[in-house]
Amino acid sequence: MAYVISDSCVSCGTCEPECPVGAISQGDSQFEIDGSACVECGTCAGVCPTGAISQE
């Protein structure tokens, strides 16, 4: 089950460089995770300061 970013995202960008497969990118209003590229490692969730990232 891939990780997703909720509306709690403040677009700080902390998660993007932590993703080992580059599945995170800036969307229109917040960062987004490409579910087909996500390897479910959880690294992004561990660094998110607002807790906006969780498993789908």
Q: Which CATH architecture has domain 3-55?
A: 2-Layer Sandwich (3.30)
Alpha carbons 41 and 21: distance in angstroms, whole number:
10
Q: What is the pLDDT of residues 30-53, one digit of tens each?
A: 999 999 999 999 999 999 999 999
Alpha carbons 42 and 28: distance in angstroms, whole number:
23
Tokens coding 11 = 């677009």
Q: Which residue has the tokens 């998660």?
A: 15
Provide the residue ranges of all domains of the chain, joining segments of one domain with +. 3-55
Q: What is the pLDDT of residues 2-20, one digit of tens each?
A: 999 999 999 999 999 999 9
Please give the model's pTM, rounded to 2 decimal places: 0.92
Percent of the chain past pLDDT 70, that is, above it, reads 100
